[in-house]
Every structure is written in structure tokens, then in C-alpha cells.
Amino acid sequence: MRSELRERINATRARIDGRAPVAEIRASSQLFISPAPVCRRLVEMADVCNTDVILEPSAGTGAILKAIKAAAPLAQCDAVEQNGDLYRYLQNNFDGVNVVCGDFLEYKTEKRYSKIIMNPPFQHAHDIKHIQHALTLLKPGGVLVAICLNGPRQERILKPLSVAWEVLPRNTFTYTEVSTVIVKIQG
């Protein structure tokens, strides 16, 4: 059993595409690390720049944050992460990023963001709830880019709001072949 877990960790690390090794962290089974090429695509679709104020809800291991910082190192970034171990990992590894420990669905701020880039949890339609909550934090004219399930509820609720709906290959995420999309919504 232990060697199987080690293999899963190593496979996940390999898919991160050149990232420094991730600390071994106990996390939810809903943590699916966004592969580096997908993170770069999210950032590209959001058209981030150094003057942006960016939010990354459910930041996990920081894969999306890494892509944001590579594209716009001077952008102001906030991140929310519920898992305490991951929160500490983000604090220690992402200088200049304001990391908040808590449930994103309870995250409240007066700040509004020019860009929100996210890979929310999917279980029980949480992706829809997270995206809807994120939209309340978006500046007028801002851009939200998210990964979500490619399911009937998502198509009914989110697709009509979108300016882009890009289907990802079924094997995009390690250990699942669930159908996902990148959705882009303009505020």
C-alpha cells in the first residue's frame, strides 16, 4: 500500500512538469493538481499582466500561482486555501502572494479582482458554486478563467455566461478521466 502511494506521489510530481518537488501533504481526495500546460493555458486565456490584481481560490499546491507569477511577476496576487498544510506550503513558497487560510465559499473581501483564475473542487457541483461566488469578487470588465466539469449542470448554468468553453482531453488530470473544460467569463 505504501509503495502504491509513493508511486502516485511520484507520478503527480512528474506531471507537474518541472516544478520543484511538492511537500508531502495530507490533502483532500478532491485535490487534482493542474498540470503546467493547463495552468499556462488558463493564464494565457486570462491575458494576465503586471498591473492585474489576481485571485486564485482553492490554490492547492500553487500550480496556477506559479504560472501567474511566470507570466506577470509584478501582478498582485491573493490566494485562498482551506487545507492548513497547503496554506503553510503556499506561504513558505510564494513570496509576495497574500495567502488566506479558509473555505473559499466563505471568503469575503471588499477587494475586487481584475482576474480570477481557478481550478475549484468538483464534487457535489462545488465547481459551479465556487465559480458563482468568484464572479461576485470580479471587477466590472474583469476576467474569470476556471476549470470545471463538462457536465449538463455546468453547460446549463455556466456556458451561457461564457465567452469561451474549451474542452480538455479526458486524461488531463492524473487518476481521473472525468470530462473537464476551461470556461472564460467576462465581467
pLDDT digits (tens, 9 = 90+) for 139-148: 999 999 999 9
pLDDT computed for residue 21 by the predictor: 42
Please report, rounded to a whole number, the percentage of residues in the chain having pLDDT higher than 90. 72
Please report, rounded to a whole number, the percentage of residues in the chain having pLDDT higher than 70. 81
Q: DSSP string covering 132-166, please?
A: HHHHTTEEEEEEEEEEEE-SHHHHHHTGGGEEEEE
Does residue 14 carry a pLDDT above 80?
no
Decide if 94 contacts 79 (C-beta within 8 A). Answer: yes
Query: What are the tens digits of pLDDT across the range 62-76?
Result: 999 999 999 999 999
Q: Residue 18: which pLDDT band, with cuts at 50, 70 and 90?
A: very low
3-state DSSP assignment of residue 98: strand
What is the Cα–Cα distance from 49 to 69, expressed in whole angstroms? Answer: 10
What is the Cα–Cα distance from 9 to 106, expressed in whole angstroms? Answer: 30
User: Higher-confidence residue: 160 or 23?
Assistant: 160
Does residue 56 carry a pLDDT above 70?
yes
The architecture of the domain spanning 32-184 is: 3-Layer(aba) Sandwich (3.40)
Query: What are the tens digits of pLDDT across the range 82-94?
Result: 999 999 999 999 9
Decide if 150 contacts 174 (C-beta within 8 A). Answer: no
pLDDT computed for residue 80 by the predictor: 98
